[in-house]
Chains A and B, each alone.
Chain A
Amino acid sequence: MREPDLLLIRFGELALKGGNRAAYEKALRQNLRKALREIADVRIQAIHARILAYPSRRGAQMARRAAEVFGVKSVSPAYTVPADADAIEALSKELLDDALLRDQRPRPLTFRVRVKRADKRFPMSSIELERRIADHVLPGHEGLEVSLKEPQLELGVEIRGKQNYVFVERLAGPGGLPVGTSGRALCLLSGGIDSPVAAYLGMKRGLHMGFITFHSFPYIGESAKRKIQDLARAVCRYQGPAQFFVVPFTEAQEAIRDQTPERYRVVLYRRMMNRIASRIAHRQSYKALLTGENLAQVASQTLKNMDLIGRTAEHLVLRPLVGFDKEEIIAVARRIGTFEISNRPELDCCTLFQPKSPVIFGHPEECAAAEAELAIEDLVERAVEGTVIERVDPFD
């Protein structure tokens, strides 16, 4: 099989965005360009309600990558052909035969040919050409049933004069909105399963993510930090490079261990994390925090404790997983390629000095009293000052 000459990229929800539509489309084109350029040179063109990408090489790989870019509804690798009915017929048959060999769906499949004729100089009407192609490609394929309404398989032909092309394959995109069009958010990333999935969902709704992680060396080693960096890198596949903040958290954890009641430890760790994340978000112009918090999954995720934890954030806190079951989170984690990394056995700073019986329903006054001895401002400021900014690049 030859490589496709161009990619037809369709977008979904964007079309509904009224006044902002031009800006969204521009962002999508930019995101596509960035994602595809990592593979090879590419020219991107906007045409009607679609985007065309012309790869210099590796078109098939680019089609798969384009189908991972948020905002994309579907991608069809297409093949150019001269404006000649015989040539169109021959290429159509070749592409359909190949597509059917690779299509695992049970037969029969409903099928149609759809011709769009923008160049009216072409000597046949759309319907005439559709019939002629169908008559040529169908013999030998008993597993196809012609159906003009919502066919499972569609052979598309576009006659545009300067350029004519044929396509069959249609790769489903992830939908959502182009990354960046909703602004920037800072994701609190741990080594667990949840937070990378939360970051992915944030990206899906148009957020550009930065990542912040809390590192308690020497209780926790470098390999634990590397695991979290690998998670950030894996999920950045869907947005491109990101900032990665590594906060030294040892001093704060030791202070909490030594100066506060044991049962409040985990809640206080998290309150401290939110304060530090907010401070960094403010300095680095992130407009929201995003966490992998899920309701009632662990002791710190009761409504009361989440409320106590959330109150120390000075930003909007997004919690995209709140309505997910663990199985649903794991299913997404597997699909986006973070599950196996999350499963690597490493220590986590949240489980350091874990109390035997953590508070389940924290009380605001009790919590305030628990923190009374802590030099909160000093701890936050020193953690922020000691933070190292790295960069994660999915293609590095």
Chain B
Amino acid sequence: MDSRPGGLSHGLKRYSKAMRPIYLDNAASTPVAESVWKAMQPFFAQEYGNPSAKYGAGVRAAEAVERARRKVRRALAAEDHRVVFTGGGTEANNLAVLGAARHRGPGPIWIGATEHASVRVPGKVLAGEGHSVHILPLTDRGDLDQEAALAAIQPDTHVVAHMLVNNEVGTLYDIPRFFAAVRQIAPKAHLHVDCIQALGKLDLDLLQLHADSLAISGHKVHGPKGAGALIVRKDARIAPLILGGPHEDGLRAGTENIGGIVGLAEAVEQAVEHQDEFCASARACRAALEAGLRELPGFYARPSVRSVDSILSVQVPGAPGEVWQHHLEQRDIEVGIGSACQSKSGEKSPALKALGLADDETQHVLRISFSRHSRVEDAQALVNALRELAPHLAEVPA
């Protein structure tokens, strides 16, 4: 028997810098970039002033926050908009949906069918507060059914929220066209778009999206966790969620997380600057993976109407996705899954269910997502591992 004082877990390897696992769950999180970490560091132990203070240290801190804001504005073509720094993407989505609805009072609200919980759950809360909350219809191929949606949306609609890129299957929705049409029907509605999985993959521009606000998150693009932002039009009407000070234009009280904000801005700038290279590399990785999967019986990459190259949903045979996940983990390959085996029906992936998958099928899904560090060889290594595991797992009952 092996007695280890640190409690280093069984089966869990400690990775040295030289021997990292192949990480293919970048839609969940990404490693903080060296340049981001460097930019953040001074703002913890050295530049610790409160940006609201009037003396030098406070002013320097406030300047750092404003410089970060300018960086985000530049990167996202948001010179004319407000940038509200938040404690992450979830808060940014909450602020937009709850804030816009509550500012207007009870009324019709439309939420996408495959939204992340940070939009879906606020929708449920609003329904409890007397708003009439509706789910936007999907086509049978999993795309937003614009025709049906536009026929249903009322002229007095208060809020419409939809994601640009789905976090589970990578579907790219045609939000510019949809929101332009919604604007014609419901001119006073607040139109919010969740761009958390789109940042660094597509050019984001509030006006081009015909949106009133868009949410982004730092740690999906090699920035820090706990840092996100809501880009919002200056004339948008939003009630704050966190009260107690004039910070962030009155939309988010509390002393600013300067290190996180500086890191977020650096990460956003990098993501936008290197977008083309990243997209090219993700396309190559995806092509290699799709080609490999075609050779493996029982596996298939979920087709999507239109999708980003960096997220791919793969159906696996035999054992549940989670069992495949751990077997891949044993081979130093980390991937995401659809729904966990033990999750209750209500928690099963809404995106996969919206695509018409049964509860049981949602458990047989791997999510592969690439970052700027992903290589074609990584995708090939994954295919090889799946091929080796198939005789072992493809027959295992669910």
Contacts and interface: CB of A to CB of B under 8 A. Distances in A.
A93 interface: no
Contacts of B323: 218-219, 347
A391 B342 contact: no
Given A219-B326, A345-B343, A225 B9 contact: yes
A123 interface: no
Nearest to A284: B1
Interface string A212-227: 0001011111100110
A345 B326 contact: no
B64 interface: no
B168 interface: no
A353 interface: yes
Contacts of B397: 353-354
Q: Could you tell me the dominant secondary structure of chain B's interface residues?
A: loop
A215 B327 contact: no
A7 B2 CA distance: 42
Nearest to B329: A218
Contacts, number: 71
B11 A222 contact: yes
A347 B347 CA distance: 16
A215 B9 CA distance: 11
B367 to A, nearest CB: 15
A288 to B, nearest CB: 20
A218 B2 contact: no
B257 to A, nearest CB: 28
Interface in B320-360: 322-323, 325-327, 329-330, 340-344, 347
B3 interface: yes
Contacts of A222: 9, 11-12
Given A217-B10, A217-B11, A225-B10, A389 B344 contact: no
Given A215-B10, A221-B329, A388 B2 contact: yes
Nearest to B323: A219
Contact of A220 (B4, B12, B326, B396): B326
B7 A390 contact: yes
B11 A218 contact: yes
A88 interface: no
Interface in A305-350: 345-347
A222 B397 CA distance: 21
B360 to A, nearest CB: 15
Nearest to B337: A221
Q: Which of B3, B10, B322 has the most CB of A within 10 A?
A: B10
A226 B8 CA distance: 11
Contact of B344 (A217, A221, A245, A345): A345
Contact of A221 (B1, B322, B343): B322
A198 B62 CA distance: 57
A384 B1 CA distance: 6
Contacts of A217: 10-11, 326, 330
Contacts of B11: 215, 217-218, 222, 225, 248
A278 interface: no
Given A388-B1, A388-B4, A390-B7, A218 B326 contact: yes
B340 A387 contact: no
A285 to B, nearest CB: 13
Q: Which of B319, B325, B326 has the most CB of A within 10 A?
A: B326
A347 B324 CA distance: 13
A215 B2 CA distance: 15
A121 to B, nearest CB: 57
Contacts of B330: 217-218
Given A345-B343, A353-B396, A221 B9 contact: no
Interface in A54-97: none
A289 interface: no
B116 to A, nearest CB: 19
Contacts of A226: 9
Nearest to A245: B1
A246 interface: yes
Contacts of B342: 345-347
A270 B329 CA distance: 27
Interface string B297-330: 0000000000000000000000100110111011
Contacts of B9: 222, 225-226, 246, 388, 390
A385 interface: yes
B10 A246 contact: yes
Contacts of B347: 345
Interface in B81-115: none
B2 A347 contact: no
Contact of A389 (B1, B12, B319, B326): B1
B322 A347 contact: yes
B1 to A, nearest CB: 5
Q: Which of A218, A248, A387 has the most CB of B within 10 A?
A: A218
Contacts of A347: 322-323, 341-342
B86 to A, nearest CB: 28
Contacts of A283: 1
A267 B330 CA distance: 28
Contacts of B340: 345-346
Nearest to A213: B10
27 contacts: A215-B11, A218-B323, A218-B326, A219-B326, A221-B325, A221-B326, A222-B12, A225-B11, A226-B9, A246-B9, A246-B10, A345-B347, A346-B340, A347-B322, A347-B341, A347-B342, A353-B396, A354-B397, A386-B10, A387-B1, A388-B3, A388-B4, A389-B1, A389-B4, A390-B4, A391-B5, A391-B7
Given A221-B325, A225-B9, A388-B9, 14 more contacts: A218-B11, A219-B323, A219-B326, A219-B327, A221-B326, A222-B11, A345-B343, A347-B342, A353-B397, A354-B397, A389-B1, A390-B4, A391-B5, A391-B7
Interface of A: 215, 217-222, 225-226, 245-246, 248, 280, 283, 345-347, 353-354, 384-391
